[in-house]
Amino acid sequence: MKDLKVLLTDFHYKKEFTPVEKITAGVLYTVLGLPSAVYWAVAKTRNFLYKKRILKSYKSPLYTISVGNITTGGTGKTPITAEIANYLAKKGGFPAILSRGYGGKLNNKNVNVISDGLTINHTAIEAGDEPFWLSKHCKNTAVLTCSSRVKSAKFAKENLNCTALILDDGFQHLKLQRDLNILVVDSEKKFSNGCMLPLGALREPLSSIKRADKIVIVNKSFNDKKAKAYARFLRKKYSIPVFVCSMVPDEIYNIKTNEKLSDSAAVIAFSAIGQPEQFYKFLRGYDVVGTQDFPDHHIYTKEDLDTLYKLKEKYVAQALITTEKDAVKLKEIAPENTDIYALKLKPVLDLKGLLESDEQ
């Protein structure tokens, strides 16, 4: 029996149904229709109240960029956040990435300094996988977690003397105003079935797309023709500049030794991310003999490692491959002689056009 979350995700993004699946879909539409309508009404009302300034928002004196999406699951927004932070840092700035710290063990009522730009102060388990990953990949960038982005914004200015703010997954966080609002869209998943949670994967109505200053289409396939065509469609429909970001496989390395994995090896692929099937597609140069999915933001245990090693033995695989987001959590519990490898993806994106001009 499929996990309920997996079942709903399949339903949200499925384009065609078998006769049996149509029955299940009918039941889901009946059961989830009302909650979805309520969710739509609440989101619409909230957005309206912020637009009319009935609900107040805070304007930071620092230049503020938001990177987010309007669907659940991974769209590639975190790697794009890292690219933006590194771009600003290389130009002499000292940006701060503001994250909610979802999945971490720290108390997020107050501001947690995961990294001050020089030192990483917390583990992946404490900070959450994404803030820790950002800390590892963004030099000269502060990474802060807090349930209140306003608190984080003030802390970054007053305590760290940061020069810019970047909200990771901030599209719905209207309490903090932004100077550049970037919406990230998956080229394959798009906007699911167009319905609000829990009937669909939308966090807010499609009309919210108009809040974006710029849109980034993340292409996770090996052909960018469809992504470019979709970018042209959105650009024409919403009159918003649209950019295509291609996620390119860079290398696969051992999470302990950094040793590279040879091509065509037989592997077990596993992950704890929102859309694991897209990660698996990047491994087409390898013989993927088995896969194992864990819930998004899952905290790995020794028992999980035992399960994975048993799979490896069962299928006579040479190695275990996961994402970099998972690797930061596994590195702490994996043995020194581990055969767990991580896939590094490299975003290819016109950052100058995205950040410095309105040209498409």
User: In the structure, what pLDDT confidence band is assigned to residue 1 with cuts at 50, 70 and 90?
Assistant: very low
**Distance from the Cα of residue 297 to its chain's centroid:** 11
Strands 340-348 vs 319-323: parallel, antiparallel or unpaired: parallel
Give tens-digit pLDDT for 157-181.
Answer: 999 999 999 999 999 999 999 999 9
Nearest alpha-carbon partner for 65 in 142, 177, 211, 178:
178
Token pair recorded at residue 16: 């065609």
Q: Is the peptide bond before 198 cis (omega within 30 degrees of 0)?
A: yes
Give tens-digit pLDDT for 335-356.
Answer: 999 999 999 988 999 999 999 8
pLDDT at 357: 64
Distant-in-sequence, close-in-space partners of 128: CB < 8 Å, separation ≥ 6: 99, 101, 102, 103, 104, 106, 145, 297
Helices (H) and strands (E) in the chain, counts: 11, 12
pLDDT averaged over the chain? 92
For residue 358, pLDDT over 50 is answered with: no
Mean pLDDT of 14-24: 84
pTM: 0.89
Give tens-digit pLDDT for 40-49.
Answer: 999 999 999 9
Note whether 77 and 203 are within 8 A (CB): no
Give tens-digit pLDDT for 314-341.
Answer: 999 999 999 998 999 998 899 999 999 9
Mean pLDDT of 31-37: 95
**Tokens 């912020």 found at:** 50
Token pair recorded at residue 59: 């304007």
Strands (E), the chain: 63-68, 95-99, 112-116, 142-145, 164-168, 180-186, 214-219, 242-254, 266-271, 287-293, 319-323, 340-348
What end-to-end distance do the CA atoms of the chain give, in Å? 46
The region of weakest confidence among 25-39, 150-164, 170-184 is 25-39
Percentage of the chain exceeding pLDDT 90: 76
Written as one letter, the residue type at 23 is I
